[in-house]
């Protein structure tokens, strides 16, 4: 059996090539897009449901964009994100003969040399791939995931059209300081290219297995690497019980409380320790089999850098201690601020108001997913863009907390996270005592006091070397400074006017040519410019007086 590990991009098929050679095809695709928009009467307004229906009709490229949009509640209205989460993953299945043809093309051999049987009815048929149950010649139960033919070309053509439209969308929107639509398209295309190369999913499964190798109650499907290519993925068939099937789990002798606690502990580990977490932990992706929690569908995994993981820990500590300054610092460190200057007083007030709400609750009652959403909202309002990993984590947290609450209401996700961060066992963690005493304030004050001598030493060292810089921002000073700026501009205009009048007068006394009405033309031009500037300045001053 010869395996083809090459995908379309490896073979030299790129978006650039498609742009050069498919102008006519792009034109036809653009007509289809316009007809779909007309069909849904886009000119009469856009509701969340209408947007979802339009995206479904537009096809796989736009479905992927919609799925990414549904994760970005920091920049899109919540009601739209909730509706876009309903985007259907099931589409019309491709013919079984086509499914077999693709496998044989990839393997360069008859399909029965690898598989004893393949179920003709698909387990699932999505926009990018189709999945069938099968059995290898050695009797092993597997599932085969096959990429739809021509999907790369279709999506690449859509990306070309979308890239041409993003400039207009950015100009028409008011969110350009936080995120631009080109970034959304690029993110979608990057994600889609990885999803269209099944070797990425195989690598995700391998990394997940390595990170959780020592945890006996966690597993994921085995990948049959010898039968996996960029277009065909063969993995172990997980025969188990979906985690939300509580009756079946109890009948099988499982303790739902134990499952909930262990699921939460593992997801916290994925976030806090590994920085590599399942980005779509809905019940259909979590099975219980032979005493193990088995995570499936590892195509979409979230990633956090060590720096982002540290800042996330800092944010959780800031909530527990109601430390506005620390949380503001974490948000500023995590985010990217574009063009507009950050109004720190407004940012501080927003965080303070949020902590007023969360600070009145016990730590164990805080919904971490909604809390992260609130941070993303505050960041967006202050023109701070957050990294993709944080927005994916927000959605993942909301989903996993819902799953845990359904199967085991007593398994508290936040308590387990706090315990994990403190390096304590759940049984020994006294949350009420922790929240009701003042020890945390003493500890925070002590930590800050310990850092003061070091900060003073750094300050003196920089001053001694002549490298000290001081950033000073006076709260409420923006308006007076703006007025001073306008005054300076008027003074500059007056100086230019005086220079033009004096210079033009000197030129007018000479015999310089060419001349206009007996006056040197250059002098006349200077007088004309001075008159125009004078009129503009007078009108500006008059308008300002009328406003007052």
* 488-530 pLDDT per residue, tens: 776 777 787 677 667 767 676 777 777 666 667 666 666 667 6
CA–CA separation, 68 and 91 (whole Å): 19
Q: Which pLDDT tens digits describe the chain residue by residue (548 residues)?
A: 554 443 434 434 444 544 455 566 667 777 888 888 888 887 777 788 888 888 888 887 788 778 777 766 656 777 888 888 777 656 778 999 999 999 999 999 999 999 999 999 999 888 788 999 999 999 999 999 999 888 888 788 788 777 766 654 444 444 444 445 666 677 667 777 777 889 999 999 999 999 999 999 999 999 999 999 999 999 999 999 999 999 999 999 999 999 999 999 999 999 989 999 998 898 889 999 999 999 998 888 889 988 888 888 888 778 777 788 888 888 888 877 765 677 888 888 888 888 887 765 666 667 777 788 888 888 878 878 777 778 788 888 888 988 998 898 888 888 888 788 877 444 444 545 545 544 555 555 566 656 666 666 666 665 555 555 555 555 445 556 566 766 777 677 778 767 766 776 767 677 777 766 666 766 666 666 766 766 666 666 655 555 55
Give residue 324's pLDDT: 87
Query: Which long-range CB contacts under 8 A does 204-213 form with residues at least 24 apart?
Result: 204/298, 204/299, 204/301, 205/235, 205/298, 207/276, 208/276, 208/295, 208/298, 208/301, 211/270, 211/274, 211/276, 212/266, 212/269
DSSP secondary structure string for all residues of 254-271: --HHHHHHHHHHHHHHII
Placement of tokens 């393949």 in the chain: 118
Contact 303, 276 (CB under 8 A): yes
What are the C-alpha distances in Å from 484 to residues 63, 82, 265, 489, 544?
51, 47, 57, 9, 14
pLDDT at 179: 46
- The pLDDT assigned to 543 comes to 54
Return all residues near 14 (Cβ < 8 A) that are at least 6 apart: 156
pLDDT number for residue 248? 95
The pLDDT value given to residue 184: 65
pLDDT digits (tens, 9 = 90+) for 361-419: 666 667 777 788 888 888 878 878 777 778 788 888 888 988 998 898 888 888 888 78
Q: Please give the pLDDT value at position 44.
A: 78
Beta pairing partners, 147: 129
Which two three-digit tokens encode residue 370?
Answer: 């909604």
Q: And the tokens for 137?
A: 């010649």
Say what the pLDDT of residue 157 is: 79
Can you give the pLDDT at residue 235?
A: 96
């Amino acid at each position: 059996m010869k395996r083809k590990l090459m995908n379309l991009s490896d073979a030299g098929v790129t978006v650039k090539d498609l742009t050069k050679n498919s102008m006519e095809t792009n034109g036809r695709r653009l007509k289809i897009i316009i007809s779909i928009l007309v069909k849904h009467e886009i000119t009469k307004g856009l509701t969340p449901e209408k947007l979802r229906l339009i995206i479904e009709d537009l096809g796989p490229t736009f479905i992927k964009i919609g799925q990414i949009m549904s994760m970005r509640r920091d920049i899109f209205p919540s009601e739209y994100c909730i509706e876009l989460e309903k985007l259907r993953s099931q589409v019309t299945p491709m013919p079984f003969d086509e499914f077999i043809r693709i496998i044989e093309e990839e393997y360069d051999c008859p399909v029965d040399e690898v598989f004893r049987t393949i179920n003709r009815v698909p387990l699932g048929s999505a926009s990018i791939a189709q999945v069938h149950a099968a059995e290898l010649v050695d009797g092993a139960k597997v599932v085969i995931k096959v990429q739809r033919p021509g999907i790369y070309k279709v999506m690449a053509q859509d990306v070309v059209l979308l890239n041409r439209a993003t400039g207009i969308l950015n100009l028409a929107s008011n969110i350009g300081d936080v995120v631009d639509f080109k970034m959304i398209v690029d993110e979608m295309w990057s994600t889609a290219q990885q999803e269209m190369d099944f070797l990425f999913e195989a690598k995700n499964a391998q990394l997940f297995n390595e990170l959780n190798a020592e945890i006996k109650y966690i597993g994921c499907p085995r990948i049959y690497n010898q039968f996996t290519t960029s277009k065909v993925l063969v993995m172990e068939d997980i025969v188990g019980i979906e985690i939300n099937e509580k009756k079946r789990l109890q009948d099988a002798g499982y303790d739902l409380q134990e499952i909930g606690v262990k699921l939460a502990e593992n997801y916290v580990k994925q976030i806090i320790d590994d920085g590599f977490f399942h980005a779509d932990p809905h019940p259909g992706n979590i099975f219980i089999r032979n005493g193990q929690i088995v995570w499936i569908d590892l195509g979409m995994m979230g990633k956090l850098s060590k720096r982002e993981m540290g800042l996330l820990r800092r944010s959780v500590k800031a909530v527990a201690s109601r430390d506005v300054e620390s949380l503001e610092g974490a948000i500023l460190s995590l985010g990217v601020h574009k063009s507009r200057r950050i109004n720190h007083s407004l940012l501080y007030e927003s965080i303070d108001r949020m902590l007023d709400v969360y600070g009145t609750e016990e730590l164990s009652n805080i919904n971490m997913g909604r809390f992260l959403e609130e941070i993303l909202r505050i960041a967006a309002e202050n023109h701070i863009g957050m990294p993709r990993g944080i927005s994916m984590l927000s959605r993942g947290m909301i989903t996993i907390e819902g799953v845990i609450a359904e199967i085991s209401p007593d398994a508290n996700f936040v308590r387990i996270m706090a315990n994990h961060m403190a390096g304590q066992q759940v049984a020994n963690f006294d949350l009420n005592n922790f929240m009701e005493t003042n020890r945390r304030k003493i500890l925070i004050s002590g930590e800050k006091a310990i850092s003061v001598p070091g900060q003073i030493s750094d300050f003196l060292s920089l001053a001694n070397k002549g490298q000290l810089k001081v950033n000073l921002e006076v709260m409420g000073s923006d308006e007076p400074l703006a007025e001073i700026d306008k005054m300076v501009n008027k003074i500059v205009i007056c100086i230019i006017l005086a220079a033009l009048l004096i210079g033009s007068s000197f030129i007018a006394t000479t015999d310089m040519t060419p001349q206009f009405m007996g006056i040197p033309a250059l002098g006349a031009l200077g007088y004309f410019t001075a008159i125009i500037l004078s009129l503009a300045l007078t009108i500006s001053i008059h308008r300002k007086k009328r406003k007052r």
